[in-house]
Structure 1
Amino acid sequence: MGLEIKSHFEGDLKPKNSLSDWNCKDPTRLLSLIHELMSLYMAYQKKHVGEVDDERLKFDINTIYSL
């Protein structure tokens, strides 16, 4: 049984392999979780930036995405 979380920007439940396949002795699992959380956060922020009419903010977010 996999762990599920609600995605605020997708509106559905989906399994998160980095948590359901967790092994505290494997440092690559922590790195995988961090990458997954960063991706979710970036997608969430990108959605909200699109709702704001601020060219400087949009430029900053696009610069971060290009890294």
Structure 2
Amino acid sequence: MIRARHAGVAAGAAVLLLLTACGSHGDNTQSPAPASSTDLTHLQKLVEDAESAASSAESDMARE
């Protein structure tokens, strides 16, 4: 159960990263809007935290 939750967090962070990278999709938009470096840094930290949590959960499950 914990592993599934951590996998969900990691997947959610990946979706956020993809959505940010896509930018806005208005009718007059020819290319995606670039994400700010602050946004990318924040999302990268979210992904790293999710991966760390998933790794910790896997270690805990292996000990049980």
Q: Name the TM-score class by shorter chain.
A: 0.3 to 0.5
1 or 2, which has the higher strand percentage?
1
TM-score norm. by structure 2 comes to 0.47
Q: Higher Cα Rg: structure 1 or 2?
A: 2
